[in-house]
Amino acid sequence: MTLIERQARPSQGKASVSVRLAGVSKVFGRGSSAVRALDRISLQIAPGEFVCLIGASGCGKSTLLSLVAGLEQPTAGEVTVGGGKVAFMFQEAALFPWLTAAGNVELALRAHGSAKAERQRRAAELLELVHLGGFGGKRPHELSGGMRQRVSLARALAQDADVLLMDEPFGALDAMTRDVLHDELDRICAGRDLTVLFVTHNVREAVRLGDRVVVLSSRPGRVIEDFDVPIGRPRRIDSAAVAELAARITDRLREEMSRHGK
């Protein structure tokens, strides 16, 4: 598959920052049982930029996404999304089993008040976009894991969001399916002015997809390194350039985990 070159750059007429976290901390609970998940996180993401978050389990990556989505509120600091809509894609497809693939996509469109005919047209268009044309009438149990994630992606795109939050969306898939979906995500992002914040435990996946890879410390989560990914697209997850940068990031992660005795 030939992918279009995608560059992260501010969009004409839009703010130069799509997502901004300024001194953000998040504490769960109170008193002696309080847990500090994030500590003074500062991060800026430009419109159209694809940023991957990586770190040890429990370092607050998913909490950070929840803050950007507005599902949680920071204990301190400020989270700003530059006036745009936010869509969230989880590790599990979380499709309604009694609805067809098209019905699950239409559900997001119904929330916008679209007429039935328009919902059906748009759902079919989005399923075509994720290469599921002809599968709109299938229910989730009739689809493979990769196909269900494509439906979930189509549903997220149906929200016409400016920012897409992805929490390990391909983590449960086999390597071949994951590689195919990497190509699909690259293709879709190339044709849209979409800002993506992507959580993964897979360092090579982060380098394969991201314009930047942000490394978080062990709990509480802090930004300890921010790697640019100066590798042209299209990329292969098994390419020498991806492997080399992934090794550097892995070494930084190991250093951090050793410091915490993990």
pLDDT digits (tens, 9 = 90+) for 9-53: 444 444 577 899 999 999 998 888 888 999 999 999 999 999 999
Q: If you write DSSP's letter for every residue of 104-166 in order, what string do you get?
A: HHHHHHHTTT--HHHHHHHHHHHHHHTT-TT-TT--GGGS-HHHHHHHHHHHHHTTT-SEEEE
- Measured over the CA atoms of residue 202, residue 203, residue 207 and residue 212, the dihedral's sign is positive
| Highest mean pLDDT of the ranges 104-113, 125-134, 250-259 | 125-134
Q: Which tokens is 159 given? A: 């929200």
pLDDT of 15 reads: 57
Q: Can you give the residue ranges of every domain in the chain?
A: 97-158
Query: Roughly what angle, to the nearest 10 degrees, separates helices 101-110 and 116-129?
Result: 120
- At 94 the pLDDT is 85
> 77-104: per-residue pLDDT in tens?
999 997 678 989 888 888 999 999 999 9
Q: What is the pLDDT of residue 261?
A: 61
Q: Is the predicted pLDDT of residue 219 greater than 90, yes or no?
A: no
Question: 243: burial class by Cβ within 10 Å (0-12, 13-18, 19+)?
Answer: middle
